[in-house]
A and B are shown apart, each in its own frame.
Chain A
Amino acid sequence: MSAAEQAQRAKTTRNAWLLVIPALVVLMAAAIGPLVLVLIYSFLTPGDYGNVVWSFSLDGWQKVVVERDIFDDSLHLAEAHLTIFWRSVSLSLVTTILSFFAGFPTAWFIATRPANQRAFWLFLITLPFWTNLLIRTFAINQIIRNEGLLNTILLHLGVISAPLQMTYTEGALLIGMVYVYLPLMVLPLYASLERFDLRLLEAAYDLYASRWQVLMRVVLPIARPGIVAGSILVFVPCLGAYVTPRILGGGKLMMLGNFIELQFGQGRNWPLGAAISIVLLVIVMAALLVYVRAINGEKRDG
């Protein structure tokens, strides 16, 4: 490489960094840097009125899984915490599965519309996605709460004699989270199905495949990147959900997000809250890693 070429290359790289640095500074200050503090805080001693005392302690981490009995000082599993963990993980998984079964037909439906209509259907999916999460949770709450639309209609019709208790149940959380996160499943599924060449279906039918075989052997394998992406996009925010369980769970059915908030609020145990935050972060990062590997594997295969 000549000196002129080298100078040109070095200048391009320097300019790139100069352009990116302002954004990086803000992100470091208000998004990435603070995460390091969370890690540090998880190893400190809780203050009496919230916040922390700057002395090293493993109490926060210990409390994630075990509890000290107030009377005899013995240690046993913190069942309340584990229940919340289990609820968060299982509800997130079930939400992901339900979203897939509702989202796949929807994505297929959009992808098989005439090209000029697709943008319209896609807009219908995107609109709720960009609509305030809080408002959407309100909306679903309006429908399913005791004095809500569904109970009112059922009472009027005489199907039930007393309102069905739907809110403050795990079922309500499930309905709410599927409702709120479904667009995140449909969008990547659509993206992978949109490029789907319908002639492949013709070829499969031509080669004597039944509809079921076409679905299982042709459509789903080709849609795999979209399925992986959609599942991660639904699972990750479910796991960290805060607003939906707070409104539909009524403070009783907590998920990890609400439990973290509790430690930073009334619980006044910041190190415990910080430790759970790190656990949540690690699970999410692991899920994203699975996603990245799946996508890269796909690229190698293709």
Chain B
Amino acid sequence: MQFWIIQGLNSLSLGGLLFLLSSGFSLIFGLMRLANLTHGAFFMLGTYFGAIALRDYSGLNLWVTAIGAGIIVAALGGLFERLVLTRLKTNPLGQVLVTLGMAFIISDACLVLWGGDSIPVPTPHNLQAPTRLFGFVFPTYRLVLVAIAIATAIGLYILIDRTRLGAMIRAGVDDRQMARAVGIPVSRLFTIVFCLGAGIAGAAGVLGGPILSAYPGLDADMLPLALIVVILGGIGSLFGAFIGSFIIGFIYTFGTVLFPELAYIILFLPMIFVIAFRPQGLFGRLGT
């Protein structure tokens, strides 16, 4: 019993982490039809910012650092979108080339600036003691992470569903030409959404830090996960990304525990089935 509960909680916390990672990607893809392959690098940049800031400035705490890293990465993302991506709106192959190129640049810059060691992101002091639930222990921070993921999901839902900006985004997702025709500044909207997506990735990088640590190669480890979640959940659907994150969390956790010999392929097999039999993803409204 304890096994199922602990691994269930593990699945939830991994799901929360995956949602924080992939929601930004989903947002950007939904509106801009742009597979932002820099996303993993944005996430890693956030983790490094967190690790370094918390190591060198003792006055900071994780939450402030996450917001700060989110803002910095959002600004970088905005620059990248304005200067480069905006010229490539009708050139998807060009987008692949520059977003991957940008990922190379960022990961190499991280290596130059912070070296090849893995650097920890400390868990906040008041969350370091494990929580005791029904006689067994579980890391408190992981539970908090699930709560943050849910709060983020609710925040994004309100943003998309209840605000003027959200209405414009929805209009843009559904029909870009029509949105432009009724006077929505689509180009500026693109920049805003790209900043938002990159910012969430940067903040998520810090929040995932206590579990992942900052290390070279983190970007390449994370990008496929974001892609898997978004493809599984359905492109352009935040709800899909949310559910997809937790499904992947469960598949990964229980898959690797129960079938260790399948650990390498456990995430890719379900994806093959989903794409082959339901190309729009579980909750997607759009074809890919």
A, B bound: no
What residues make up the interface of A, taking CB atoms closer than 8 Å to B?
none
What residues make up the interface of B, taking CB atoms closer than 8 Å to A?
none
